[in-house]
Structure 1
Amino acid sequence: MASNKKSADNCQSKSSTCKLVCYAIILLFMAFQIKQVKKTTGIIDDIGKNIRNEVCENYQDEHPSEKHYGIKDLESIFNVKYAPKTVSENDFIENLLNKLNVTESERYQQDAYEYERRNNQYGPLIERGYDDDKRFYIKLSSKEVGYGLFANVDILPNSIIGVYHGTLTQVKAGYTNTDYAWDYGTFPNPENPEENVEICIDGRTYGTWLRFVNHKVDAEANCYAMYVPFNNRWYIVYMTRKFIPRGSELFISYGDNYWTARAETHNFEAEPEKAYASE
């Protein structure tokens, strides 16, 4: 009897082991199947994404006005070298600005509290930069206007669009030969106290895609520009003033007299704080 009982126990033990092995095999098979399904789904998604991209590219090739460009296309398509920071045109300008203290300037003293706030809030963002910003693309706005900057995503009000970088250039004889200039400031000439040095930020051939933001009168513009002091230099920061839906063009006011000045001289320097009534 003892021998029969022991044999039965062994059979039950072997049966339990077999069940566990079967369960383990089933679980492994299910895990393998799930992995294969995920892999197949990923492949299908990749194929779908590639097809969508190819369709978009083909459509844009067939409709040049709808072709999108990014930062990487600035130099190859528009002959504009990307500007990760603002640089001086020459040593004269660099040395002049290095000797100045922006906190002592007339502009800063007009509202020291506000400019200190801007320095604290936007300074770190200026330092971080916007080199890999996927929120925008360049596209033909119209044959009359040329290219413009468009939103690739929905953009909320009071969002930073970026920093208008370029070349700090001395304005000759009261004007500059570019439509891409923002006023930086006017300073006494250290080499001739009877003269002033007028400097602008020129984004014509060295700049960012903010140079493609077109002009609209203040009431219709969905962005605005403002001066921000940081590291003893002035920067021009673009901000949204209202919600901008995906696919919409960005506009900024260069000032009410922009078109008049442009028509008369084809030369103009915009001034952020004078381009709109209030922020």
Structure 2
Amino acid sequence: MAEVPGHHMIEIERLTKMYDATHGIREIDLTVNRGVSLGLLGRNGAGKTTLVRTLIGLLKPNSGKAIVNGIDVSSDPVSVRKVIGYLPEVFGLYNDMTVYNTLDYTGRLHRIEARDRSDRIEYLLDRLELTEIKNMKTGALSKGLRQKVGFARALVNDPQVVFLDEPTSGLDPIAARGIESLIAELKKDGKTLLITSHIMPEAEKMCDCVALIKDGRLIASGKISDIKKKYSEPAVIVRLQDPASAGQAATMLRAMLPGVEATDSTVTIHGADPDKTTLMINRKLFEANIPVLEIRRQESSLDDVYFKAMEA
């Protein structure tokens, strides 16, 4: 079970798993570095869960290869499952089993020795704030607490890579925030995370990098900032001190730049390269004696970028 050399924790080459002519994943190429949190984004049915289930050895690919922590998932799925944790979107808990016994049972499945098992479980109960309910039956818990128990169960074997399928789906905002903070803790611990999601603001909070999947194909991947640069339309926002000067400022800037739009005390220049035009805009407005409060780059949300990429 040799570690993969360098920084790569997941390496995927031309990975294909098709159920029929249209459903599945096709020729996915993707590398995830150690300690990175990757958001796997796409509509329902795009192939996100199929990719995850193939990476953890639950599905056998038709072709291509995937290496997780130096282990080939096709030839050695048993070893892969020793180094990963998995929280499916829909998971079952034995409703009559207590929280502690659920984690103990999972530890025994991983063949963890009794003493190490109890130490690990107590650590997870404390870290995930489950100690007070450790003797409650899982069937009596709220959805948010059941999700936490599922999370704890995925971490019992202290995995190097954690796969989370829609981890905040269906949770109320407070429970979702709790899961997001757990994910932030795992990132601090240096774990590699692969998180599927279709909720863009949550993905943006949880992930460093994203991979966009459409109809089973990978259409873009990289750091969120780089993906935003690629797909977002640049724009400059100018906030003026005096709302009455917005019309004059817009007229003056239209003579030099396309895509100028004025509303109240703000002028927006669509399609303008912020790095090249900000100083020029500031100088022209200063020369025209139009007081400016701020000039800034308009930031696209991941939502905007996602829709633009999916339509491309």
Shorter-normalised TM-score: what interval?
under 0.3
Normalised TM-score (structure 1):
0.22
Question: Greater Rg, structure 1 or structure 2?
Answer: 1
Normalised TM-score (structure 2):
0.20
